[in-house]
Structure 1
Amino acid sequence: MLDKVAAEHTIQSRPPTPPPPAIPPFSFRLATGMVGVLLAVLLAGFNEHVTEIGLTDISGQMHLSHDDATWLTALFEAFNISAMAFAPWCGATFSIRRVTMTATATAGFLGLVAPFMPDLGSMLVLRCVQGLACGSLPPMLMTVALRYLPPNIKIYGLGAYALTSTFGPNMGLPLTGIMFEDFSWQFLFWEIVPLCALSIACVAWGLPQDPLRLERFRQFDWRGLVTGLPGICMIVIALEQGDRLDWFRSPLITHLFFGGGFLFILFMINEWTHPLPFFRASLLKNRNVSASLITLAGALMLAAVTLDIPSEYLTEVRNYRPIQMVPMGLLLAVPQLVVLPLVAALCNIRAVDSRHVLIAALAIQGFSYFLGTWIDADWVRENFYVILLLQVASQPMMVIADLVIVTMGLGPADGPFISGLFNVTKGLANAIAAGVVDALMRRREQYHSTMLLDHYGNQRFAMQGMGDPTAGELAPRIADPAHVDGTAIGLFHKVVAEQSMILACADIYVVMIGVCAALIVLNSFLPTRVYPPRAPIAAPSR
């Protein structure tokens, strides 16, 4: 009885929670603000991918070793992904407008001063802070789309968010080639500055200013912060540096993985039970949410090889420079500005089941990888065009259909929570995909190199045993240093390296076909049918 009275007294003494701010009617001004948020998210993606692709040029100009330069990417990614977990809470507390403008201004200013950093330490600190700023922006776009867009066009807002997963990453390669070849290496950092200014202007004029809700600090999830931030950072750093340091043979990677994994488990348990979490982990009980997040992770792994494999092949086998691969990036990115609205319109039709759109996209994606398994030493840039054109259609279909499945079955109040959960999954999946693809590529190259050398050695000794006079003409007589032909050895090494790379690329395409098949099976039975939202029909006037 006393406990009941005490609980009632606590409830009565707690200040009432202010009602959520009213949603303004959709207008040109609000649409301009949303475009500003979209620009902010795209520039964050450009800053991430352009500097990652141009890392060799940046490290050369700043006199950094390869190992030191990799930490610029690893730390940026770690803080970029961890910020996605906490940004929705900040948006609800300080307002979406304030968070977006502050993060965009911070990213732009740090990009402006980045080329002038005096040493590696200051550059690493700058990239950490810039990662926090850039990672805060994607959740703002999803929250804005779910909150402000009218029901009839809400799916088109999700299509705009899908640009950050399809158009943005694929523009990294063309921008890198253009900036470095036609301007200078500093523009790899400076290319975001004009977009930052335009984005801030659009957001300042277009988005409404919500009031501060500082009372949310009374239930601040400090356990989530002290477990989630270091846990996510440790996992991402381990994934980024794992292949370079040979994974669990490195004590650093081992400690990062197990320590980060333990903290992340504590973080998820806390988010499941906390009354005001950074994201609502209990949403995972929803079948559509679970299926969509698994599909998202798989789709991002598929997207990781879309340009990585052609770029790796053309760089290593054909000696292409970044500027020569610009047409591939443009072919994959630019048509999606047209395809994305068309796919959004398709998913906005009530008779269309988004699950079927997703399964069809996975089938198209798998077929494109099947074509990629025919790769050989004669391929040039144009041979990849058919594969990329198929993925121009399949990538938007995958992302938009997945977004529809995960968001349309939830209530308006779940928007910030699903935004954080979705974006954290997206960030971690990107890091996992990059680590897995790098590890697969290296392992398969080593395997095929060993097999080719073994095959050559066995064949040579067999021919010598049969007394074949041409056996000595097949390759240099390495066993006798006096008769070593240096040119022949170099040519032989080049052929083995090229063939190992080609076979490894074909193997990764086969693995991606298996991923597509697994996702098709998953989405055939796990998610339930959802329908596009519709505005309520007004009652007829009497």
Structure 2
Amino acid sequence: MAEAGIPEQEIPPPSRRDWIALLSAILGAFMAILDIQIINSSLKDIQGALSATIEEGSWISTSYLVAEIIIIPLAAWLTTIMSPRRFAVTISVLFVIASLLCSMAWNLQSMIIFRAMQGLAGGALIPFAFTLILTKLPPASRPKGMAMFAITATFAPSIGPTIGGWLTENYGWEYIFYINIVPGILMASGLMYGLDKAAPRWDLLRKGDYWGIATMAAGLGCLQVFLEEGHREDWFESSSMLTLAVISFISLVCFVILQLSKPDPLVNLRLLKERNFLFGSLANIGLGVGLYGTVFVLPVYLAQIQDYNALQIGQVIMWMGFPQLLIIPMVPILMKFVDARLICATGFFLFAFASFFSGSLNLDFAGDQFIAIQIFRAFGQPMVLVPMSILATAMIPPSQAGSASSLYNILRNLGGAIGIAALATILDSRAKHYYEILRENITPGNAAFTERMDLLTAQLGNEHSAFQMLSNQVHQQASIMAFNDAFHLIAIMLGFSMVFVLLTKAIPKPVAAKPATADETSAEPAHP
């Protein structure tokens, strides 16, 4: 087994077929991440159509995320067994079929099952695309591939609510699943054309690390459910949440022990000994908090405080998305002249600054006031993801691309899940805290309180209605203060990520790849 930091055989320049395979895989990763966010703006409509409560409907999202986080570490192993081409086409077709089934779901149970199928297929597409970039592109071309992958990780979450809100408002919630059909067909066709045929290695099933798979699936699955549902169940006050936490902890500890004790593990955790991959992965956790936390907190604020509908929320969030399409292509060019660490740290600074400034909310701070902040985020996010991916994987040999991809992507997803769970708890607990503080000033001896009550009583006609409205206003102010705290937490996590990036080593200067000979052009390079 090759260790991190030890170079392997030189990767030849990518052919046209390689680029088609890469673009197809990246399209699949884009659709997979888009499907995480796009459903959130349509959840109320889907719950109504399936006669589900809010608590029951949350499983529509949770089932997708649980399946996704379980399949990510298995993707590299399944790719080796089935062959890259067979695996990629299979999951692409499964993704399209699952999307169609979701649009035809007849009750909540069927929707949860079909969303889990969709999560299994979509989750496998994300590390597969990342692995292809590491194995198909030489170091000199890798920034271009990472720039395209950045579109999936940063642009897809930004436009998901916009597309979902528009489709639901104009056509119905079923169309958020229909839009996967055409890209899914293109994706499967491109992967079938771009990847070489290879014989499957079914014999590896007999050597599978099934204890590792079982402990990993139990640990990550229970952890994801715990993080998604814990806030609604009051965390450790719920016996079911406590049970999930214990199972997750024991399973993941066993998984780590098993992986470190095997010469050929399912996921090579020893890659974290490599300095750049360790600090890049830690920074990636903070990025997950920033990416998914922002897309969680901002829509909740606009809906609860400003009374925005799904389409209006999407129009605000898209200002974080569309400018990135202009910025992402420029990042690989900038990396030729500027140290990747400085570019990445600057991106984290811009992202953190935008999040910190978002923590200055008041009742008049609505969609228009967020436009400048969203543009700052749009500048920061591509400057983070492209160089950070290169920094983290610069010393990882191609043979370890599968493990590196699994670890790197799963840590970002876990960062997002942990961040959302923490932010949801902060919004609830801090709102109660601030309400108690503000309520202390609502006393008959307070001149401001008396003046406000007199004004509201004159407007509403009776003192009871006036007091009820004042209580609502105090609750609203307490919630706004809690949202400020949530944005400040996101900024702090991004600040830590900026420090981690600065602790990495500089990327070695790539050696220009030799032009492909006629023989090399006719023979496709080996695939992961």
TM-score (norm 1): 0.88
The aligned residue for residue 406 of structure 1 is 392
- The 2-side partners of 1:319 and 1:472 are apart by 25
Give the alignment partner of residue 343 of structure 1, picking from 319, 328, 331.
331
Deviation at 1:58, TM superposition (A): 0.8
Rounded Cα–Cα distance in structure 1 between residues aligned with 2:368 and 2:441:
32
Which residue is 2:518 aligned to?
none
Q: Pick closer, same or farther for the CA change 1:44–1:25 going to 2, 3 Å.
A: same
Counterpart selection for 2:357 from 338, 358, 371: 371
Of 286, 289, 313 in structure 2, the residue corresponding to residue 325 of structure 1 is 313
Q: Secondary structure at the match of 1:54?
A: helix
CA distance in 1, matches of 2:380, 2:14: 31
Tell me the residue number matched to 1:9: none
Hey, what does 1:60 align to over in structure 2? 48
The CA distance in 2 between the partners of 1:428 and 1:367, in whole Å, is 23
Structure 1 residue 363 displacement after superposition: 1.6
* Amino acid of the structure 1 residue aligned with 2:345: I
- Aligned-partner SS, 2:508: coil
Deviation at 1:474, TM superposition (A): 6.4
Assess if the C-alpha contact under 8 Å between 2:31 and 2:180 holds in 1.
yes
The answer on whether the counterparts of 1:34 and 1:207 sit within 8 Å (CA) in structure 2 is no
- In 1, the alpha carbon distance for the partners of 2:148 and 2:452 equals 62
Q: Does 1:396 align with 2:382?
A: yes
Q: Tell me what 2:454 maps to.
A: 473
User: C-alpha offsets along residues 325-364 of structure 1, whole Å, 9 cap, x if unaligned?
Assistant: 23223221122122112112222x1x53222222212221
**Which residue of structure 2 lines up, in the alignment, with residue 520 of structure 1?**
498
Q: Where do 4+ consecutive residues of structure 1 move more than 6 Å?
A: 20-24, 474-477
Provide the rounded CA distance (Å) in 1 between the counterparts of 2:166 and 2:456. 42
Report the residue type matching 1:473 in the other structure: D
In the alignment, the residues of structure 1 paired with residue 290 and residue 353 of structure 2 have an alpha-carbon distance, to the nearest angstrom, of 12
Aligned residues: 507
Residues 141 and 461 (structure 1), Cα distance of their counterparts in 2 relative to 1, 3 Å cut = same
Report 1:177-188 matches (<5 A): 177-188=165-176
What amino acid sits opposite 1:531 in the alignment?
P
1-structure distance, mates of 2:57, 2:251: 27
2:31 equivalent in structure 1: 43
Kindly provide the amino acid, as one letter, of the partner of residue 434 in structure 1. I
Asked whether the 8 Å contact 1:84–1:136 carries over to 2, the reply is yes
Unaligned runs of 5+ in 2: 1-7, 516-528
Matched, 1:461 2:449: no
CA distance in 2: counterparts of 1:24 and 1:247, whole angstroms: 51
Distance 1:455 1:99, change over 3 A: farther
Distance 1:137 1:473, change over 3 A: same
Q: How does 1:74-473 map to 2 (within 5 A)?
A: 74-347=62-335, 349=336, 352-457=338-443, 460-462=444-446, 473=454
CA distance in 1 between counterparts of 2:80 and 2:9 reads: 10
Per the alignment, residue 12 of structure 1 pairs with none
Pick which of 395-404 and 382-391 moved more: 395-404
> 1:492 pairs with 466, 470, 485, which one?
470
CA contact (8 A) 2:34 2:157 kept: yes
Preserved CA contact (<8 Å) 2:351 2:377: yes
Secondary structure of 1:136's counterpart equals helix
Aligned to 2:526: none
Higher relative contact order (CA 8 A, sep 6+): 2
**1:261-292 Cα distance to aligned partner (Å, 9 max, x none):** 11011112212222322210011111111111
Corresponding residue SS for 2:441: helix
Change (3 A) 1:474 1:448: farther
The answer to whether the 8 A contact 2:38-2:176 is kept is: yes
The answer to whether the Cα contact below 8 Å between 1:221 and 1:274 also exists between their aligned partners in 2 is: no
Corresponding residue of 1:13: none
Identify the range of structure 1 (375-384 vs 238-247) with the bigger mean alpha-carbon deviation: 375-384
In the TM superposition, residue 302 of structure 1 has moved relative to its aligned partner by 1.4
Q: Deviations over 1:457-508 (max 9, x none)?
A: 3xx33559xxx9858626779xxxxx96443244223312321222112112
Identity of matched residues, %:
23
Deviation of 1:537 (Å):
5.7
Q: 2 CA distance for matches of 1:523 and 1:289?
A: 10
Larger radius of gyration: 1
More deviation, 390-399/114-123: 114-123
Gaps of 5+ in 1: 1-19, 478-482
Question: SS where residue 63 of structure 1 aligns?
Answer: coil
Aligned-residue offset at 1:138: 0.5
Q: Give the TM-score normalised by structure 2.
A: 0.90
Is residue 94–residue 121 contact of structure 2 (8 Å, CA) maintained in 1? Answer: yes
Q: Bigger CA drift: 320-329 or 209-218?
A: 209-218
One-letter identity of the residue aligned with 1:217: L
Alignment CA distance shift 1:472-1:523 (3 Å): closer
Counterparts in 2 of 1:462 and 1:193: CA distance versus 1, 3 Å: same
Aligned residues of 1:155 and 1:532 also touching (Cα < 8 A): no
Question: Residues 100-126 of structure 1: CA distance to partner in whole angstroms, max 9, x if unpaired?
Answer: 221121121121122333332222222
Q: Which residue type is aligned with residue 31 of structure 2?
A: L
Call closer, same or farther: CA 1:475–1:249 in 2, change over 3 Å: farther
Q: Secondary structure at the match of 1:151?
A: coil
1:219/1:276 contact within 8 Å kept = no
Pair 1:30-2:18 in alignment: yes
State the shift of 1:22 in Å.
Answer: 11
Deviation at 1:141, TM superposition (A): 0.3
Q: String of CA shifts for 1:190-233, please: whole Å, max 9, x gaps.
A: 22122111211111122222332233334311111111111110
Aligned equivalents of 1:299 and 1:394: distance in 2? Answer: 11
Residue of structure 1 in register with 2:3 after alignment:
none
Contact kept? 2:101, 2:114, Cα under 8 Å: no
Post-superposition shift, 1:145?
A: 0.7
SS at match of 1:225: helix
Q: SS of the counterpart of 2:306?
A: coil
Q: Is the 8 A contact 1:78 1:237 kept in 2?
A: yes
Query: Which residue identity lines up with residue 79 of structure 2 in the other structure?
Result: G
Q: 2:57 aligns with which of 45, 61, 69?
A: 69
In the alignment, residue 428 of structure 1 is paired with which amino acid? L
Q: Which amino acid aligns with 2:272?
A: L
Q: Give the Cα–Cα distance (whole angstroms) in 1 for the partners of residues 161 and 509 of structure 2.
A: 35
Give the conservation status (yes or no) of the 8 Å contact 1:339–1:393: yes
Cα RMSD for the two superposed structures: 2.5
Contact 1:46 1:192 in 2 (8 A): no
